[in-house]
Structure 1
Amino acid sequence: MNKTLSTLIAGIFIGALLATSGFALFLRAQKSGGGVASQTVLKLGHGLDTAHPVHQSLVFMKERLEELSGGSVTIDIYPSAVLGAEVQSIEQLQNGSLAMTCQSVAALENFIPSMAAFSLPYVFRDSEHYWQVLNGEIGHELMEKGEAKYLRGLCYYDAGSRNFYTKDKPIRTPDDLTGMKIRVMNSATAIDMVKALGGSPTPIAWGELYSALAQGTVDGAENNVPSFYSNKHYEVCKHFSLDGHTRIPDMLLMSSKVWKQLSPQVQGWVQQVAQESSDYQRELWNQKTKLAMEQAAAEGVHIYEVDTALFQAKVQPMLNAVEHPDVRMLLQQISQVN
């Protein structure tokens, strides 16, 4: 059997092993100048489509890692939840069968209770305050909190702010929400927020929302600008209010079990390219948000600046009523960041 055929068979065998065993980190043969060398491969799964800024940033990270390592380390990326939904992906990190995933920090609440603070309204004053927290000591400490659950945080990705949008009338003050049926995620915090603002929260699956808006099942919804535009909700809702009630980031996570199998040099490369991908993703997200807003306006959507202090005053009792000590402590720490 010649060398080329042997290499081909070895590659097929390793690919089959990956598909059947779910190894998070494995070696595969690759051609180098002097023959065949091994390559460390990290398996990464996430739930977003390939056009999303997060996926594009993960591809950027993969390319940078290959560049830094001279091709000796790479990442195999599996988008669109092909390896499992968010909770499944996190559990795979815990048992070491998946190396990396990117998920909303809202999905981490059951693993890291203090993450529940991000789902509360008006925790952050604005985008600048938000990133000062995430890129500062508080943000780094939060990424470390998952270590006890075999979850290592590497960086944050921007998911924008969530805002109200409606069909028939604009939301300029909380009083405008009175009696309105607003679609929310199936989240107790989201439901309580809309109730506090005077609206009628209606949990509906995201995939069913367009029809619910068109048929009048709900009067409006809330989400970030890119999601509003990409899902064509502008066809039904012509009023978009920039109230920015919540800012919930995504986090790039790595299995602590896999991390410990890497050499210090490779760990350094991974951490470096993760942070570079975070900066890259923020720029992509800003571009996408600006473009989506311009496109929505061109489709006849009216976009409103609002006095967020009015909304914040209405939901303040929610923040005052938080009972979990970790969440209360985090809220206090965030409020002290200038």
Structure 2
Amino acid sequence: MHNKPITLLLIVLTFFLSCKKESGEKVLYLAHTLPQTHPVHKGILKFQEVLAKKSGNTLKIKIFPDGQLGSEREVLELLQIGSVAITKVSAATLSNFVPEYHVLGIPYLFKNKQHQFDVLEGPVGKSILEKGSKFWLRGLCYYDAGSRSFYTSSKAIRKPEDLKGLKIRVMNNQMAINMVNAMGGSATPMAYGELYTAIQQGVVDGAENNPPSFVSSNHYEVSKYYTIDEHSAVPDVLLISTKYWEKLSEQERKWVEAAAAESSQAQKEYWRASVEASMKTAKAAGVEVIIPEKALFAEKSKSVLEDFKKDYPEMVPLINQIKAE
């Protein structure tokens, strides 16, 4: 599958083992792409711990981190065919399967962190989680993946005009591309693994990401300016394959949902601590942290929202609902 080391044998084995019973126990396989030091992985460990406790060890989670079973997209496909029970992916990746998740990537959609989680944990967020069921991808909860901001190697960004002429690496995502271009930069899609060298060699002038990623990738070594404009806040999503959801009893489903909700609250604290530690590391390494006037960046990115509304008119009521919360 896309040249990843996932053999047919492994897929067949995981199909039979993902929800296997061992002396009255059910073991659900959970795969994700993050390292075990990541605050989202810590949230998943909490999910594993709480579910085992609530179910009296009759429901257990076996975790495959570090992309052992493939990329986010590949693992989503494994959920759809029933080879893996649960995964964690970015809402940006999920939007390729469930269109409603596109909305969560709109620049400056949320007023602040409190507004974001009021929406995600309320009726609107829950309705989006359920939208994936028809694609065999039922959402359980959201995890905090922080806010993305710009970092550059040789020129500080203090206002949107400073982006002019700069090549900024973005994910291969149309909304991210449109946003950087609207602000005056030159959006440059590129694989994340190539980015350190690309900044170091001047192939790109910078990128955008959250503080834990900025530091864990060592990009702070080659980018000495970090502008906290927080232009987007795309959450991560914990999902279960509907093929496995349907195998669970009503009581087991309640345990899974309760464990997911509890892990989501704990993960926010893991994330907050990780952001604090990351910013401390970056500053100690000589990175200049800039707090700009966000309203200037929000104004420049308004065209992204208007273009999105034209392309996805059916999403306008959802956007209005979020803004009204």
Q: TM-score, normalised by structure 2?
A: 0.93
Q: Sequence identity of aligned pairs in percent? A: 45
What's the offset of the Cα at 1:124?
1.2
Alignment of 1:233-272 (within 5 A): 233-272=219-258
Kindly provide the amino acid, as one letter, of the partner of residue 323 in structure 2: S
The answer to whether the aligner puts 1:149 opposite 2:135 as a matched pair is: yes
1:83 counterpart residue number: 69
Structure 2 CA distance, aligned partners of 1:21 and 1:210? 35
Kept in 2, the 8 Å contact 1:152–1:255? The answer is: yes
Aligned to 2:6: none
Instruction: Give me the whole-angstrom Cα distance separating, in 1, the residues matched to 2:322 and 2:55.
Output: 37
Unaligned runs of 5+ in 1: 1-15, 29-36
In the TM superposition, 1:171-320 aligns within 5 A as 171-320=157-306
Count the aligned residue pairs. Answer: 314
- The alpha-carbon deviation at position 326 of structure 1 amounts to 3.3
Find the partner of 1:25 among 13, 19, 25.
Answer: 19
SS of structure 1 residue aligned to 2:110: coil
1:94 correspondence with 2:80: yes
- Which amino acid is the alignment partner of residue 291 of structure 1? A
d(CA) in 2 for partners of 1:286, 1:93: 30
Residues 201-237 of structure 1 show CA distances to partners (whole Å, capped at 9, x for unaligned) of 1122111111111111111110000111111111111
Superposition misfits of 4+ residues, deviation over 4 angstroms: 16-19
Give the superposition deviation at 1:256.
1.2
2:315 aligned with 1:333: no
- CA change 1:19–1:80 in 2 (3 A) is farther
The equivalent position to 1:55 in structure 2, one of 37, 41, 49, is 41
Deviates more, 1:253-262 or 1:64-73: 64-73
| Structure 1 residue 19: Cα displacement | 7.1
Once the 2 structures are TM-superposed, how far is the Cα of residue 119 of structure 1 from its aligned partner?
2.1
Q: CA RMSD in A?
A: 1.6
Question: Which position in structure 2 is the counterpart of 1:11?
Answer: none
Residue 92 of structure 2 is aligned to residue 106 of structure 1: yes
Q: 2:206 & 2:11 partners in 1: Cα distance?
A: 45
Question: Deviation of residue 38 (structure 1)?
Answer: 2.4
Aligned residues of 1:181 and 1:220 also touching (Cα < 8 A): yes
* 3-state SS in 2 of match to 1:132: helix
Q: Deviations over 1:276-310 (max 9, x none)?
A: 11111110000000110011111111111111111
CA contact (8 A) 1:114 1:326 kept: no
- From 127, 130, 137, give the equivalent of 2:123: 137
Cα displacement (A) at 1:156: 0.3
Q: 1:253 is aligned with what amino acid?
A: L
Shift of the alpha carbon at 1:43? 1.0
CA contact (8 A) 2:141 2:238 kept: yes
TM-score, normalized by length of structure 1? 0.89
User: 1:2-34: per-residue Cα shift (whole Å, max 9, x none)?
Assistant: xxxxxxxxxxxxxx9997353321112xxxxxx
Mapping of residues 31-50 of structure 1, within 5 Å: 37-50=23-36
Q: Answer whether contact 1:115 1:327 (CA < 8 A) is retained.
A: no
In 1, distance between residues paired with 2:29 and 2:165?
47
